Amino acid sequence: MSLSESIENLLMSVQKPVRYMGGEFNAVMKDPGAVDVRYAFLFPDTYEVGMSHLGMKILYHAINARPDAWCERVFSPWVDMAGLMRRDGIPLFSLESRTPVKDFDLLGITLQYEMSFTNILEALDLAGIPLRREDRTEGPFVICGGPCAYNPEPLVPFVDLIALGDGEEETIQTIEVYKRWKESGLPRDEYLRMAAQIPGIYVPSLYDVEYNVDGTVKAVTPKPGSGAPAVVRKAMVKDLDAAAYPEKLIVPYGEIVHNRIMLEIFRGCTRGCRFCQAGMIYRPIRERSIPRLMDMAEKLVSSTGYDEISLMSLSSGDYSCLPELAHRMVERFAAKRVKISLPSQRIDTVLTDTLKETQKVRKTALTLAPEAGTQRLRDVINKGVTEADLIRSVTDAFDQGWSAVKLYFMLGLPTETDEDVLGIADLAEKVRRCYFSIPKERRAPGLRITVSASVFVPKNDTPFQWSPQLGFDEVVRRQQLLRQALSRLKGVDFKYHAPDVSYIEAVFARGDRRLGEALERAWRLGCRFDGWSDQFRYDLWLQAFRDVGLDPDFYVTRERSTDEVFPWDHLDCGVTKGYFLREWEKAQHAECTPDCRKGCTGCGMKRYPGACEGR
């Protein structure tokens, strides 16, 4: 029986067989005999989650634009499918051609969140690839990229290369260097040494880590003679208009999380919120031009048949000509019944005009993220918005016919007090009053305010990388304090979660190389799909740390001194440690740093020739 037939036989018995089916419209098929490099791209979560990810679509397109390479998709099989695959001896396979992953040349894995790390080990094991790099003598090289790549140390035992920064060009370079290596006939390790010369590529096996007696890192240095750089600086695509972007998107059959056209209008963010890793690692800001965006939208609408375009970025309200863009999009596509939506709305931009435009086609819940309940704490985190901004935005929205507002906050931010926690309830009450201040005949019925409070996780490569995470019991107490305060407000829902996932996330965000042992142990104990609350096993994680003799509190609640060497200090995300430190110190005094569009704040990006041009 062929592999494809064996897979078919399982599909009758699993939930959502569409996940493993392939054959979607616009999926790229090539003749395997006619390409030099076969690239498997693994998104280590389910099909529905992975198919909603823009980065994967961009790289799939960029690789497949080359006649000499074929990129195919791989997703984590859900636990039912994984069980059946093990029972029947079916290896992890690609969706397009149903080829075993171990037969590919390169295996790219995107690291979107720490809680997908066990899925990577599960995928390697299902593929029949030895987990540890040093045990592999054949099979694909494993390359990890994405936001978590800026501190990949816990994954180091399992991967060959780490790709830092924008993937459009560096992914292609890993393929070109692979071809050169294959032609050369040199031993396996030689590919790693060659790849270490690509800008943005970090080859962890070429570095030694020394520790201090207290367990902190003393130094990470390239092995003598390896030719690897002392510091690896991320790759950056300067001109987004010229960068690869798909003209066709795969259109799935089943429903996925974001089933629509995603148009990345710019990359990077100039705000400088101190908790936000994305706001740091995706710098500098690079906008796509309106003509390029209109052209992309036009092609994607006709090649996919989608009836919705989402204008994507970290902070779409900051696009320099958003009203014009929204207006032209609405005008161009209204006749085709294509809706335009704007996610991650900010509360301090001039919303009203844009709201009017998008409302013509669609009315979704207005999502705002004040993040903290008092002005003092918003200044600490450098969320440059005021209560007046928020009130103006929601009043405008209610006046335009919105009736649903989602408010996002974090609990456990540095310097937070009970006053800040109760400030969240106070804000919710003020938003409520805004709604009732609109005359009844003008406002839409059915006010719904949702307050979501997540637990703050200090991340590497942010000004808060020195901050301890708030202790478990204290998080629970503050959650209950807020819950009680909000329960008095009619029409307000409160959403929060147990802090256990955030705790494990915090371990890995600022973890070191030794954590690879704990990760492997946790996977062997049965941890996988840790981002799914029905699969997450906190007890097994704690057991894993005990088994390998590591104290998770060392990574989570420990106060770090300002001269500590971090496990990721040899990886340069573009923003300097000196900038983070200045920002950390300003945070202690609730001192704001303005948006860098209003003047350079010296984050370090200007070390890239041509970055931040015209600013």
| Residues at the interface with other proteins (CB under 8 A) | 8, 11-12, 17-18, 21-25, 27, 251, 253-255, 301-307, 336-337
Nearer of residues 97 and 454 to other proteins, judged by Cβ: 97
Contact 516, 117 (CB under 8 A): no
Q: Which two tokens stand for residue 112?
A: 């979107």
Nearer of residues 18 and 592 to other proteins, judged by Cβ: 18
Contact 230, 31 (CB under 8 A): no
Nearer of residues 18 and 237 to other proteins, judged by Cβ: 18
Q: How far is the CB of 41 from other proteins (least distance, A)?
A: 20
Listed in sequence order, the residues at least 6 apart from 107 whose beta carbon sits closer than 8 Å to its beta carbon are 39, 40, 42, 74, 101, 127, 129, 140, 141, 142, 143
Nearer of residues 211 and 306 to other proteins, judged by Cβ: 306
Contact 47, 54 (CB under 8 A): no
Nearer of residues 337 and 589 to other proteins, judged by Cβ: 337
Nearer of residues 18 and 79 to other proteins, judged by Cβ: 18
Q: CA-to-CA distance for 507 and 492, rounded, in angstroms?
A: 33
Residue 201: phi and psi, rounded to 5, are: -95, 125
Nearer of residues 24 and 595 to other proteins, judged by Cβ: 24
DSSP-assigned beta bridge partners for residue 201? 163
Q: CA-to-CA distance for 201 and 224, rounded, in angstroms?
A: 18
Q: Three-state SS for 314?
A: coil
Q: How far is the CB of 351 from other proteins (least distance, A)?
A: 24
Q: CA 567, 570, 576: angle at the middle one, nearest 5?
A: 105
Nearer of residues 29 and 231 to other proteins, judged by Cβ: 29
Token look-up 């690692």 returns 281
Nearer of residues 305 and 610 to other proteins, judged by Cβ: 305
Cis preceding-peptide flag for 499 (omega within 30 of 0): no
Q: How far is the CB of 366 from other proteins (least distance, A)?
A: 20
Residue 356: phi and psi, rounded to 5, are: -60, -40
Q: How far is the CB of 308 from other proteins (least distance, A)?
A: 10
Q: Residue 459 is which amino acid? A: K
Token look-up 């950390």 returns 584
DSSP-assigned beta bridge partners for residue 143? 108, 161
Q: CA-to-CA distance for 110 and 107, rounded, in angstroms?
A: 10
The number of beta carbons lying within 10 Å of the beta carbon of residue 306 is 17
Listed in sequence order, the residues at least 6 apart from 614 whose beta carbon sits closer than 8 Å to its beta carbon are none
Q: Which among 508, 407, 503, 515 is positioned nearest to 456, based on CA atoms?
A: 503
Listed in sequence order, the residues at least 6 apart from 118 whose beta carbon sits closer than 8 Å to its beta carbon are 519, 522, 523, 527, 528, 529, 530
Q: How far is the CB of 91 from other proteins (least distance, A)?
A: 19
Q: How far is the CB of 29 from other proteins (least distance, A)?
A: 9
Q: Residue 389 is which amino acid? A: D
Q: How far is the CB of 104 from other proteins (least distance, A)?
A: 21
Residue 67: phi and psi, rounded to 5, are: -70, -20
Q: How far is the CB of 297 from other proteins (least distance, A)?
A: 14
Nearer of residues 79 and 251 to other proteins, judged by Cβ: 251
Nearer of residues 307 and 387 to other proteins, judged by Cβ: 307
Q: How far is the CB of 343 from other proteins (least distance, A)?
A: 21
Q: Would you tell me the crossing angle of helices 117-127 and 515-525 to the nearest 10 degrees?
A: 70
Q: How far is the CB of 26 from other proteins (least distance, A)?
A: 8
DSSP track, 264-278: E-EE--SS--TT-SH
Residue 273: phi and psi, rounded to 5, are: -60, 130
Nearer of residues 303 and 601 to other proteins, judged by Cβ: 303
Nearer of residues 57 and 570 to other proteins, judged by Cβ: 57
Say how many Å lie between the first and final Cα of the chain, rounded: 62
Q: CA-to-CA distance for 80 and 142, rounded, in angstroms?
A: 25
